[in-house]
Structure 1
Amino acid sequence: MAASKGFEAQSEALDALRHLTPEAAEPGLRKALGQRNNFLVAKAARLTALQNLRSLSGALAEAFHRFLQDAAKSDPQCWAKNDIAKTLAEFEFQDAELFLAGMRHIQLEPTWGGPSDTAGALRGTCALALVQCREVRSHQLLLWFTELIADKVLTVRVNAARAIEQVGSDSAALLLRLRAELASDEPELLGACYSGVLRLEGPQAIPWAARFLALGDDASAEAAIAIAETRTPEAFAILRATFDKTARTNQWFRSALLSAIALTRQPEAAPFLLDLIDRSPHDRQDAVEALCRSNPNRETVEELTKRGHRCP
């Protein structure tokens, strides 16, 4: 009972620091970062970010390395390491070795189904943080991220793809192309690869991305959204052509294509969807929903209203 009250008092004392000036809060946060309790340190790290106390970067780094030791016991669920890494990334901390250690950290903890890795979020956070370490060459970053894009955890693979995109080089685009070509992963990862290539290479990569529309599956829907986000006439043209060729038996993919067409924001998109509402009962509801989700302008809303439809 006494220990519980002590913990509650320390947690409340941390909450009180939120309302102080950064200068007044710094001593209390520095002390809290030295605590053994991972929940309190995680809370202190979040408050350090809120107060923008970059002067505590060294204390944050010390705490991070401390919780890497006997990690499953000292920092179950990686609570402290996660929040410390996020804060140091926000501060643009330049110690690449710290983030590399986090990117490679695997923390197996006991669960009913057997040991479970709780460090996936940490690996992804640290990978993204490594990109802003100015002394690390892009070639070295890509070598590290190549390790991570084969991680067992899907969210880590997705963050690895996003980190590769942020490297921003021709080599990064080629690596994302290669990963997408393997086509042996979850749609979310493939979507990150499609989007990354299109953002790095621009509209000239649309024909490449359009190849992945052919199957009409979840990954194809991710490709459609990635193409739409280029906001180009080429995107509208290829998505409409794909819609026209997609059989009505694949209504789910037709609906995904209509959402992507609306997302292109091209002048032809709204008239096409409104015409579809008028002439195709089979696609009417999907076209209405696509327009409503696209943040339509007043003219489009008025046209929908004339047809008896309203956006939520």
Structure 2
Amino acid sequence: MAAARNFDAELDAVNAAAELPPDEALPLLRKALNHRSNLIVSRAAKHAGRLHLAVLTDALAEAFYRFMPAAGNPAKTDPQCWAKNEIGKALAALEYQNTELFLAGMKHHQPEPTWGGPSDSAGPLRGACALALVQCREISSSTLLRHLAPLFRDEELPVRVNAARAVEQIGSDAAALMLRLRAELGSDAPELIGACLGGVLRLDGESALPWVSGFLTLGDELSAEAAFVLAEHRSPQAVTLLQTAHDATFNRDFRATLLTAIASTRLPEATDWLLQRVISGAQDSKLAAQALCDAQPPPEIAEQLRANGFPCSGR
């Protein structure tokens, strides 16, 4: 009981440090990073990152390696990877520049027993380290791509998505080409392909719009991802591509998705086109009205929807 009370008191002290000025929190968090408990270390790392205590980067790195496989059984010393996950995120937030640490984190797998069989708790660590590696100034963009490429076959979807985001952050022509290739290969969750499409569009700009629109033709979940990637671009050309896809499909569910994507742009040409479908009594006028209303239109548009028999509160 005494040991439990002492642990609770130490955990409370670490959590309380988050509310202190940085100079007062510093010694408390430095001490906590040396604790044997992965929970206390994880909380200390989280607060160190939030308080932007760059002076603690060396202490964070030391704690990271203390919980890695070379130091023992990580599933026992750091169950659920709590300490390493938070340390990785904190070092990324503090723009730590040690590439070897992030590379070690990107390669780390930590299977742990669960009811459904072994589960890898290190996925968030691999994803966080991938994003952190991009900000390391000493590593070239081509070397970065070589290190990130294997993560596209990681068994954890969030890691693959973070790999796509990390590649996008490199910002080079080669990075855009890698994302294009991964999207063209398909055979993965729509979320990953959508991240690739969005990355290419942000890197290559409007010249990539026709390429992204090519993924609208299937009318499936991937097409829905592509629709919202186009909508996020918020350009008249993107709206036109979405309208063309809408007119070409007979899939009612996908038509509804496209109408929602068009409405989410909130561009005047998108709103006018949807409102005209409502007023003219088009076959999917109810879907168009719902899409407009879900986009929280301005009062004048909401009033026109109500005047045509579609209740809408607007903004």
Same structural fold, with TM-score higher than 0.5 when normalized by the shorter chain:
yes
Distance 1:219 1:280 in 2: 30
Amino acid at match of 1:27: P
Match of 2:244 in 1: 241
Ranges of 4+ aligned residues in structure 1 off by more than 4 Å = none
Amino acid at match of 1:259: T
Residue 259 of structure 1 contacts residue 291 of structure 1 at CA under 8 Å; is this kept in 2?
yes
Match of 2:103 in 1: 100
Q: Return the offset for 1:281.
A: 6.4
Aligned-residue sequence identity (percent) comes to 54
Superposition RMSD in Å: 1.5
Partner SS, residue 135 of structure 1: coil
Q: TM-score, normalised by structure 1?
A: 0.95
Match of 1:292 in 2: 293
Match of 1:267 in 2: 268
Pairs within 5 Å for 1:63-212: 63-69=63-69, 70-212=73-215
Question: Alpha-carbon deviations, 1:12-36, whole Å to 9, x = none?
Answer: 1112223322112111110000011
Unmatched tracts of structure 1, length 5 or more? none
Match of 2:311 in 1: 309
Distance 2:10 2:121 in 1: 26
Amino acid at match of 2:43: K
Amino acid at match of 1:112: W
Number of residue pairs matched by the alignment: 310
Question: Alpha-carbon deviations, 1:55-80, whole Å to 9, x = none?
Answer: 11110111111111321111111111
Distance 2:285 2:164 in 1: 36
- The alpha-carbon distance between structure 1 residues 311 and 74, as it changes in their structure 2 partners (threshold 3 A), is farther
Distance 1:172 1:193 in 2: 10
Match of 1:12 in 2: 12
Q: Return the offset for 1:170.
A: 0.5
Deviates more, 1:69-78 or 1:162-171: 69-78
Q: Return the offset for 1:228.
A: 1.7
Residue 243 of structure 1 contacts residue 254 of structure 1 at CA under 8 Å; is this kept in 2?
yes
Match of 1:57 in 2: 57
Partner SS, residue 109 of structure 2: coil
Partner SS, residue 23 of structure 1: helix
Q: Return the offset for 1:283.
A: 2.4
Unmatched tracts of structure 2, length 5 or more? none
Partner SS, residue 173 of structure 1: helix
